[in-house]
């Protein structure tokens, strides 16, 4: 009886092991490939519990979700012989599990192959482009070309490339300083050119302003000369008219001008006869009372003297005095 119990227990254990080995569970984010002696037999796409032949068949699970591959940074030489370090990441998914398992057998082999293809394609595409293309709007176009070329090589093995993007593009550490110095020199050259253009424009504006100033001053001088000439003409006309009306006053005024011009220096020495025509207005100098009223002019043209005296007749106009001789 005891032996029968042991045998029954062994049988139950074997059955349990066999049953456990024949059952597998498919997650909703996965698909299962049933392999028999390494060859794919069927593909299970629906999530849940499924069965396989124990000890004969194996199960390989494949992700339905989009997967990411973050490769190591790659140093690339661009078309203009500039080195740059590019870090890219790839988004992909397995669309045909059967082709995938035939080509790669596991995920590690798939990622190694994908990394090699991405690096090679990246060098081919960026090696034909200048360094500035990665810093401009052409970058998205280059990434689209990279995605298409990688997808063309991977799609035949049941893998779809969703996207390939550059995460970082930078200069190698040993080249940064040289590149920065070159960029600084280029910017300084452009700054000098801009300053030179500014100086040229300033000179042009300054020359135009000087020319306009000269023209304005010339016009102003011309206008002033015209006005001065008109004023001098008016002055001379008034002076001549006054001289014709009052010849004695004109002669006296001219003599005063001669005195002023001849005697304006303190060290002037003149040797003249006292009866000279030049001193005719100094012959009879009388003291005039400042409080006395001015002499009245008589109807006959004479000047009324003090009360009780006869009016003096106005002297006829004298000739213009001679100019003063030059001082010693």
The 10s digit of each residue's pLDDT in 42-54 is 888 888 887 787 8
Buried b (16+ CB within 10 A) or exposed e, 89-110: ebebebebbebbbebbeeeeeb
Beta strand segments in the chain, E: 23-26, 30-36, 39-44, 48-51, 57-63, 67-70, 74-77, 83-94, 159-170
Domain boundary among 63, 80, 113: 63
* pLDDT above 90 as % of the chain: 20
Question: Does 273 fall in a domain?
Answer: no
The DSSP annotation for 240-270 comes to HHHHHH-HHHHHHHHHHHHHHHHS-STT---
The pLDDT score that the predictor gives to residue 202 is 93
pLDDT at 265: 66
Q: Count structural domains, the chain.
A: 3
Look at residue 51 and give its three-state secondary structure. strand
With b for 16 or more beta-carbon neighbours within 10 A and e for fewer, the 231-247 pattern comes to: eeeeeeeeeeeebeeee
Whether residues 73 and 150 fall in one domain: yes
- The answer to the question of residue 286 being in a domain is no
Can you tell me the distance from the alpha carbon of 126 to that of 86, in angstroms, rounded to the nearest whole number?
A: 10
Q: Based on the domain organization, do 130 and 222 belong to the same domain? A: no
Question: 178-186 long-range CB contacts below 8 Å, 24 or more apart?
Answer: 179/82
Does 200 reside within a domain? Answer: yes
94 vs 321, higher pLDDT:
94
pTM of the model: 0.48
> Are 165 and 71 members of one domain?
yes
User: What's the pLDDT tens digit per position in 103-156?
Assistant: 887 888 889 999 999 989 888 888 888 877 777 777 888 888 889 999 999 988
**Tell me, what's the pLDDT at 142?**
85
> So what's the pLDDT on residue 297?
45
pLDDT value of position 309: 41
| More confident: 245 or 314 | 245
Averaged pLDDT score across all residues of the chain: 78
| Mean pLDDT, range 190-198, rounded to an integer | 93
Let me know whether 145 and 124 are in one domain.
Answer: yes
> Within this chain, do residues 157 and 207 fall inside the same structural domain, yes or no?
no
Residues 66-77 pLDDT 10s? 998 888 888 888
- Do 26 and 83 share a structural domain? no
At 259 the pLDDT is 76
Contact 287, 293 (CB under 8 A): no
pLDDT at 235: 86
Query: Quick one: 133 and 57 in the same domain?
Result: no
Regarding whether 51 and 129 lie in a shared domain, the answer is: no
Residue that is written with structure tokens 């661009």 in the block: 78
Q: Are 300 and 313 in contact (CB under 8 A)?
A: yes
- Bridge partner list, 86: 74, 169
Q: Is the pLDDT reported for residue 210 higher than 80?
A: yes
- What's the rounded Cα separation, in Å, for the pair 223 and 221? 5
Closest to 157 in 3D by CA, of 127, 193, 201, 112? 112
187 falls within a domain: no
Which pLDDT score is estimated for 91?
Answer: 92
Q: How far apart are CA 246 and CA 249, in angstroms?
A: 5
Within a domain: residue 15? no
Q: Is residue 210 part of a domain?
A: yes
What is the model's pLDDT at position 283? 63
Q: Which pLDDT does position 125 carry in this prediction?
A: 86
Determine the pLDDT at residue 304.
43
Say if residue 58 is in the same domain as residue 78.
no
Structure confidence at residue 266 (pLDDT): 66
Would the pLDDT of 162 be above 80? yes
Give the structural domain span for 52: 21-63
Of the residues 170, 187, 207, which one is the last residue of a structural domain?
170
* φ/ψ of residue 71, rounded to 5: -80, 165
Residue 328 falls inside a structural domain: no
Flag the least confident range among 79-88, 170-179, 198-207. Answer: 170-179
Same domain? For 81 and 166 the reply is yes
Residue where a domain terminates, one of 232, 256, 280: 256
73 and 56 within one domain:
no
Q: Exposed (0-12), middle (13-18) or buried (19+): which is 192, by Cβ within 10 Å?
A: exposed
pLDDT in tens, 266-313: 666 777 776 777 767 766 555 445 565 555 444 444 444 444 344 444
Determine the pLDDT at residue 225. Answer: 92
How remote is the C-alpha of 308 from its chain's centroid?
101
Report if residue 316 sits inside a domain: no
Same domain? For 162 and 116 the reply is yes
For residue 88, give the CATH number of its domain.
3.30.479.30
């Amino acid at each position: 009886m005891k032996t029968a119990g042991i045998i029954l227990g062994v049988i139950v254990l074997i059955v349990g092991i066999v049953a456990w080995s024949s059952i597998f569970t498919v997650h909703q984010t996965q698909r299962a490939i049933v392999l028999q002696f390494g060859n794919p037999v069927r593909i299970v796409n629906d999530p849940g519990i499924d069965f396989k032949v124990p000890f004969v068949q194996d199960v390989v699970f494949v992700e339905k979700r989009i997967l990411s591959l973050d490769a190591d940074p790659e140093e690339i030489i661009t078309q203009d012989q500039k080195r740059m370090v590019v870090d890219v990441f790839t988004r992909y998914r397995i669309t045909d599990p059967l082709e995938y398992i035939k080509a790669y057998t596991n995920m590690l082999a798939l990622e190694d192959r994908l990394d090699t293809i991405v690096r090679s394609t990246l060098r081919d595409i960026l090696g034909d482009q200048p360094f500035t293309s990665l810093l401009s709007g052409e970058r998205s176009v280059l990434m689209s070309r990279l995605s298409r070329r990688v997808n063309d090589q991977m799609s035949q093995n049941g893998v779809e490339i969703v996207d390939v993007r550059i995460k970082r593009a930078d200069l190698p550490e040993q080249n940064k300083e040289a590149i920065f110095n070159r960029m600084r020199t280029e910017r300084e050259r452009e700054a000098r050119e801009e300053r030179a253009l500014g100086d040229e424009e300033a000179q042009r504006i300054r020359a135009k302003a000087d020319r306009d100033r000269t023209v304005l001053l010339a016009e102003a001088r011309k206008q002033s000369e015209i006005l001065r000439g008109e004023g001098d003409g008016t002055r001379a006309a008034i002076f001549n008219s006054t001289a014709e009306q009052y010849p004695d006053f004109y002669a006296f005024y001219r003599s005063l001008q001669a005195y002023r011009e001849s005697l304006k220096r303190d060290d002037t020495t003149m040797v003249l006869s006292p009866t000279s025509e030049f001193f005719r207005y100094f012959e009879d100098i009388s003291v005039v009372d400042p409080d006395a009223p001015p002499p009245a002019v008589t109807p006959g043209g004479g000047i009324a003297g003090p009360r009780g005296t006869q009016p003096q007749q106005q002297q006829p106009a004298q000739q213009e005095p001679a100019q003063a001789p030059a001082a010693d």
